[in-house]
Structure 1
Amino acid sequence: MSALPQVVGVVGGGRMGIGIAHAFLLAGAQVTVLERDHEAADHASAALLTAIETSVARGTTEEPREELVARARTTINIDDLADSGLVVEAVPEDLPLKGQMLARVEGVVGADAWLASNTSSLSISLIAQALARPERLCGLHFFNPVPSSKLVEIVRGVASAAQLIDLAQQWVVEIGKTPVTVNDSPGFASSRLGVVIALEAIRMLEEGVASAEDIDAAMVLGYKFPVGPLRLTDMVGLDVRLGIATYLHETLGDRFEPPALMREMVAAGRLGRKTGQGFFQWED
């Protein structure tokens, strides 16, 4: 018997939110994506449709396009999340914003609904303080790009219900991914390790140790990384990784201090793939 809720809500229709919505949709859920205004909702709807059509074209789902589209919707009305059994928050990495959005969601969903945050580094326990029932929140940290990533990091906050963690592990398996479960700690396991490697790669580039291409090649060929740390930073976004590094620097100390090169590139708008230029040139 499936543990997956019949209806899943996603707050935020950016790249990560659409990827999360798509994953639950392919697993059989009805999905509602909440966005802030009509323009953003239209963009999210188009992105989700593209993801559906790509899955159908590649044969990664046997469901007809029409059935998938019929179970997917976008909205700007938070009340449309009321029938969700699970709502995953995927708004930008801002602690007050995440808490405020989840508190609003908590006010409209049923008493038996569960909540999750896709935060990649912020404390689930602190986010949960905004809730009337903090035990109904855990972290579900998906990875970019969601469709091809096999990992979801489940984060157990100090108040997270044991039943929720058990269910989260089942949900992750049902959407075709592998769960790892960690206790709430700055950066969890994945971001903490990933960011420290990326920061050292940036320092090596800053110090002229090697080119960006050669630093990445050393990790791909020597350590079997699927993608080098500098290219991955471009894909994630230098601004996103700077935010994570700044938070980890504040909570864990100087080993996470962002390099000057990273700050300079963000200030100059060289954010990686989304701006066309970071450590590498991007044409998409």
Structure 2
Amino acid sequence: MTEEHPTPRLAVLGAGVMGVGITTLALGQGVPVVLVETDPAKRADAPARVERELRTAQLMGVRSGAPRAELVTAARPADCAGADVVIEAITEDAGLKAAALTEVSEAVGEDTALVTNTSSIPVDELAAKLPRPEDLLGVHFMNPSYLIRTVEVIRGSRTSARAVDSVTRLLTALGRRGVLVGDGPGFVTSRVLHRMINDAARIVQEGRASAEDVDTLMQDCLGHRTGPLRTADLIGIDNLVDSLRVLHERTGDEGCRPCELLLQKVRDGEHGRKSGQGFYTYTGVVS
């Protein structure tokens, strides 16, 4: 960045899969991060997880030539003070997200843009709970965010131009292309993809094809890059079920009601790549 356009100051709320991935992306692009995690064990483990992801990004050739930026871990949303943009990346629960964003909003200035990384909850629904609803917009980073260069940007009905400009500057610094879409449950990608994954899992549940066969057909016949069930493992099957429940509740679409196979995998702790077992088995995975 230049003196006229300084490097944005970024805070990320939540050290789960997405929070660590977004942090990895930012550090690799030379953007420093304050990573806020209230759980002491997850907070202590976060730097090592970020280092592993940075090494993976380096091996895949997707890190920029910028020097690796500084990571600071913190315990409270109030530690986001001073950030230009705060990205919330906690669990897909509207009440928890609204509470966390409200706490952040009370700690930062009016010039700080607030971003929710929700995959399914409407931005306006969350904004309505905030003291300054105009500060909030959605940016749906895909996983792994350091590999996928396009993101959904969701502008709510009350989102200010100032917040959009701040996030646009951040995405430029991160080397990401934002596609602006309208607000609503699931936006574009989750509304289409998550129902497709649910249908794919239902086919396996019914015994009509294996997960490998479903993915092979979707890859080779329809051009899906990884196949829907490998994608489910990458998203996290527990996260996927949470998102499907949100979509079902807010749209009434029965196709979004999580199928029994997905629910059983969550009950069994088979959450996908992060747990080492989902529709496929993964080795050398540390959740």
Alignment TM-score, normalising by the size of structure 1: 0.90
- Structure 2 residue 142 is matched with structure 1 residue 143: yes
User: CA 1:58 to 1:247, structure 2 compared with 1: closer, same or farther past 3 Å?
Assistant: closer
Equivalent positions of 1:52-63 (< 5 A) are 52-55=54-57, 60-63=63-66
- Structure 1 segments unaligned to the other structure (5+ residues): none
Once the two structures are aligned, what percentage of the paired residues are identical? 34
Deviation at 1:166, TM superposition (A): 4.1
**CA contact 1:150–1:178 (8 Å) conserved in 2:** yes
8 A contact 2:114–2:163 mirrored in 1:
no
Matching residue of 1:126: 125
Q: How many Å separate the matches in 2 of 1:199 and 1:3? A: 44
Moved more, 85-94 or 36-45: 36-45
CA contact (8 A) 2:31 2:174 kept: no
Which whole-Å CA distance do the structure 1 matches of 2:7 and 2:274 have between them?
33
Is residue 281 of structure 2 the alignment partner of residue 281 of structure 1? yes
Post-superposition offset of 1:51: 3.5
The aligned amino acid for 2:249 is E
Q: How does 1:1-284 map to 2 (within 5 A)?
A: 6-55=8-57, 60-65=63-68, 68=69, 71-252=70-251, 253-283=253-283, 284=285
TM-aligned CA distance change 1:26 to 1:273, over 3 Å? closer
Superposed CA offset, 1:148-179 (max 9, x none): 11221111112111332344334323311221
User: What's the CA shift string for 1:91-147, capped at 9, x where partnerless?
Assistant: 111111111111111111122111100111112111112211100000011010111
Shift of 1:53: 4.7
CA RMSD of aligned residues (A): 2.1
Gaps of 5+ in 2: none
Aligned to 2:87, the other structure's residue is in SS state strand
Q: Is the contact made by 2:139 and 2:154 (CA closer than 8 Å) also made in structure 1?
A: yes
The Cα of 1:30 is off from its aligned counterpart by: 2.4
Note the C-alpha offset of 1:271. 2.1
Residue 78 and residue 165 in structure 1: after superposition, are their counterparts in 2 closer, same or farther (change >3 A)?
closer
In the TM superposition, residue 7 of structure 1 has moved relative to its aligned partner by: 1.2
- Cα pair 1:154 1:165 within 8 Å, conserved: no
Structure 2 distance, partners of 1:255, 1:248, is 9
Cα deviation digits, residues 174-214 of structure 1 (max 9, x gap): 31122111111101100011111111111211222221111
CA drift at 1:79: 3.3
Using the TM superposition, give the Cα deviation of residue 64 of structure 1 relative to its aligned residue in structure 2, in angstroms: 4.2
TM-score computed with the length of structure 2 as normaliser: 0.90
Kindly state the Cα deviation for residue 10 of structure 1 after the two structures are TM-superposed.
Answer: 0.5
Equivalent AA in structure 1 for residue 38 of structure 2: R
SS of residue paired to 1:110: coil
- Distance in 2, matches of 1:240 and 1:127, equals 18
| Aligned partner letter, 1:239 | D
Alignment partners' CA distance in 1, 2:220 and 2:150: 22
| 3-state DSSP of counterpart to 1:107 | helix
Counterparts of 2:257 and 2:54, CA distance in 1: 40
